């Protein structure tokens, strides 16, 4: 009887600890699906603007994960170093999930629309060619907008005036950066209701012969700047993986958390950790459901076809399914179905861009994830 009582108390403590872990998701981390086990495919999203120290990876060009798992209560088991490969051969590298803005350009506020007053700032040290405008005495903007899908619409020449009479002249900030404050809709003469997605621009020193400033493309060539409106998730990075495969975890193992820290590709390039209650930097602990395969989950077999898919994706043999979600490889949800009453559904995929997608099938017992390709 004594042994039974001790075992019962231990079990209750474990369950309470599990409940506590499930509630303590770090502010800088999100995980999809939220109640995944180590045997589910998950997408982990890190907001580097919320890591410790403050914004330590804010300007990172690369984000790597250094991690392990908590197995049977032992944290940092089965460690995968940031510069190594997982047991499944996957690199622990996160993918940028936000809206790209050139490091040479900043726009404030970052989520502005064309009808808001913005301040656009150019760092001449980062423009292409290298430092072409570094010693400029004057910086002018030659620009247009992406209007209803057409780039370089409503162009305002560098030596002309905007529709509101404003000169496209930037003001020096005294540190090789130059700024201009304006309302794009007024400057480019945009009518209400128009769809304006970005500013297209290049810069010069007051004349094309006095140096030209552009953006760098992925190959290091000079290209026009494209400055998006309504930029979102500027500091979010994601990685999609199955922990059991990545950390080489055997079926039936109780895994309660992922333990991790992040860096910019090297420890000298910035480290990202979690904040504790006192504001100190601590390792991330990302809770997982403690169940292993076969422990409380009834796995259903569903059929998904065709794969690759063109216009319609079919899924049948669905049992007690209450939600279906489709995610991009960066973790962005692009489709969701709920209130499913049939064992077969057809999902319109004609509007999806070509590429790899993840689809999660939720029922009362578990969440299952698989992949499909959109042609």
Is residue 112 located within the same domain as residue 204?
Answer: yes
pLDDT at 232 over 70: no
Is residue 258 located within the same domain as residue 317?
Answer: no
- 328 domain residue, yes or no: yes
Least Cα distance to 58 among 297, 280, 264, 216 occurs for 264
Is residue 26 located within the same domain as residue 49?
Answer: yes
- 293 domain residue, yes or no: no
d(CA 325, CA 310): 18
Q: Which residue has the higher pLDDT, 2 or 342?
A: 342
Is residue 256 located within the same domain as residue 198?
Answer: no
What CATH number has the domain bearing residue 320?
Answer: 2.60.40.3080
d(CA 125, CA 176): 7
d(CA 100, CA 317): 40
Q: pLDDT band for position 214 (50/70/90)?
A: very high
Do the strands 355-363 and 118-123 form a parallel or antiparallel pair, or are they unpaired? unpaired
What value, to the nearest 5°, has the Cα angle with vertex 84 and ends 81 and 86? 90
- 296 domain residue, yes or no: no
Tokens found for residue 283: 């390792």
- 297 domain residue, yes or no: no
Q: Which residue has the higher pLDDT, 153 or 339?
A: 153
Is residue 27 located within the same domain as residue 42?
Answer: yes
Q: Is 261 helix (H, G, I), strand (E, B) or coil?
A: strand
Is residue 257 located within the same domain as residue 320?
Answer: no
**pLDDT tens profile 55-99:** 788 778 889 999 999 886 688 999 999 999 999 999 999 998 866
d(CA 65, CA 85): 11
- 162 domain residue, yes or no: yes
Instruction: Tell me the HSE value of 235 on the side-chain side, using a 13 A CA sphere.
Output: 17
d(CA 51, CA 29): 9
pLDDT (0 to 100) of residue 99: 65
Q: Which of 263, 287, 311 is the last residue of a domain?
A: 287
pLDDT at 297 over 60: no
Q: Is 21 helix (H, G, I), strand (E, B) or coil?
A: helix
In the chain, which ranges are continuous DSSP H helix?
A: 2-23, 184-187, 243-246
Structural domain count, the chain: 3
Provide the domain limits for residue 367.
303-374
Least Cα distance to 185 among 221, 149, 154 occurs for 154
**pLDDT tens profile 106-132:** 888 877 899 999 999 999 999 999 878
Query: Which of 109-118, 271-280, 320-329 shows the lowest mean pLDDT across its residues?
Result: 320-329
Question: What are the distances in angstroms from CA 114 to CA 195, 231, 320?
Answer: 9, 12, 46
Is residue 80 located within the same domain as residue 119?
Answer: no
d(CA 127, CA 111): 23
Q: Name 123's Cβ contacts closer than 8 Å, sequence gap at least 6.
A: 103, 104, 105, 106, 176, 177
Is residue 116 located within the same domain as residue 206?
Answer: yes
Answer yes or no: are the C-beta atoms of 35 and 289 closer than 8 Å. Answer: yes
Is residue 248 located within the same domain as residue 219?
Answer: no
Is residue 61 located within the same domain as residue 175?
Answer: no
pLDDT at 303 over 50: yes
- 81 domain residue, yes or no: yes
Tokens found for residue 340: 């499913």
**pLDDT tens profile 187-212:** 999 999 899 999 999 999 999 998 89
Tokens found for residue 344: 């077969």
Average pLDDT score, the chain: 84
Is residue 191 located within the same domain as residue 274?
Answer: no
pLDDT (0 to 100) of residue 264: 92
Tokens found for residue 128: 């292409």
- 134 domain residue, yes or no: yes
- 44 domain residue, yes or no: yes
Is residue 114 located within the same domain as residue 215?
Answer: yes
């Amino acid at each position: 009887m004594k042994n039974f009582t001790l075992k019962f108390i231990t079990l209750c403590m474990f369950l309470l600890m599990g409940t506590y872990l499930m509630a303590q998701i770090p502010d800088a981390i999100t995980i999809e699906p939220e109640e995944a086990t180590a045997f589910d495919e998950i997408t982990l999203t890190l907001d580097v603007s919320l890591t410790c120290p403050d914004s330590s990876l804010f300007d990172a060009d690369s984000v790597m994960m250094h991690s392990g798992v908590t197995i049977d209560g032992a944290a940092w088991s089965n460690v995968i170093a940031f510069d190594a490969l997982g047991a499944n051969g996957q690199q622990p590298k996160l993918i940028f999930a936000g809206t790209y803005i050139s490091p040479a350009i900043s726009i404030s506020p970052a989520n502005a629309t064309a009808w808001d007053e913005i301040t656009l700032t150019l760092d001449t040290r980062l423009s292409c060619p290298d430092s072409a405008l570094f010693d400029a005495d004057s910086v002018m903007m030659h620009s247009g907008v992406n209007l209803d899908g057409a780039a370089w619409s409503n162009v305002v020449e560098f030596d002309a005036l905007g529709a509101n009479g404003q000169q496209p002249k930037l003001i020096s900030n005294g540190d090789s950066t130059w700024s201009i404050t304006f309302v794009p809709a007024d400057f480019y003469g945009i009518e209400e209701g128009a769809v304006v997605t970005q500013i297209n621009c290049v810069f010069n020193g007051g004349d094309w012969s006095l140096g030209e400033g552009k953006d760098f493309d992925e190959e290091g060539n000079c290209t026009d700047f494209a400055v998006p409106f309504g930029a979102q998730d500027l500091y979010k990075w994601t990685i999609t993986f199955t922990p059991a495969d990545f950390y080489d975890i055997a079926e039936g193992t109780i895994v309660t958390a992922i333990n991790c820290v992040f860096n910019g590709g090297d420890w000298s390039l910035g480290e990202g950790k979690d904040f504790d209650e006192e504001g100190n930097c601590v390792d991330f602990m990302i809770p997982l459901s403690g169940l292993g395969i076969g422990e409380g989950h009834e796995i259903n077999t569903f059929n998904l076809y065709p794969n690759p898919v063109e216009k319609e994706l079919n899924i049948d043999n669905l049992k007690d399914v209450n939600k279906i979600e489709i995610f991009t490889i960066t973790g962005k949800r692009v489709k969701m179905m709920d209130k499913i009453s049939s064992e077969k559904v057809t999902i319109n995929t004609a509007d999806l861009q070509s590429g790899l997608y993840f689809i999660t099938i939720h029922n009362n017992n578990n969440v299952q994830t698989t992949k499909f390709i959109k042609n």
